[in-house]
Amino acid sequence: MARTRALDHGIDEAWADVRRARESGRLNVRRQAARRVRDSADLGAALVGLEQAVADTCSMARTIEQGLPAADGYGGSRPVQGALLVNLRNNLEAMAPVAAAQPVRVRSRHDLARTSRYR
């Protein structure tokens, strides 16, 4: 939970940066300023996703914490397992804008073999 609070604080700082970039872009008369305002809007969408993911992670941690004493065999743990699956699905949905803004590029085996030969 302490780590999610730290992440939440970092997201708050990023929002402050986005607000400053938007304000700077609006007040700037150069052409590049419009791009800065657009980019800050894209970053804002990613930050909303990150905020939701942090909230869902906190919810999952609380669910796990509350469900541990009752998890004797399968008896009391079924509702906890269902709640965790719902939270995990919500977390994945919230991360979609983040993944779109910063896609993961996976190198193929062919690329890895080719680059390792030339080292």
Q: What is the pLDDT of residues 12-63, one digit of tens each?
A: 999 998 888 888 777 777 777 777 777 777 788 888 888 888 888 888 777 7
Average pLDDT, the chain: 76
pTM for this structure?
0.56
72 DSSP 8-state letter: S
Look at the block and give the residue holding tokens 């804002």: 44
d(CA 108, CA 114) in angstroms, rounded, equals 10
Q: According to the model, what pLDDT value does residue 61 have?
A: 79
* Distance (Å, whole) CA 88 – CA 98: 16
CA distance 55 to 8: 9
At residue 95 the predicted structure's pLDDT band, cuts being 50, 70 and 90, is confident
Asked if 59 and 25 touch (Cβ cutoff 8 Å), the reply is no
The pLDDT of residue 104 is above 70: no
Provide the token pair at 111: 């690329």
Distance separating alpha carbons of residues 10 and 113, to the nearest angstrom = 38
* Residue whose tokens read 């803004």: 101
pLDDT score, position 12: 92
Percent of residues, the chain, with pLDDT higher than 90: 3
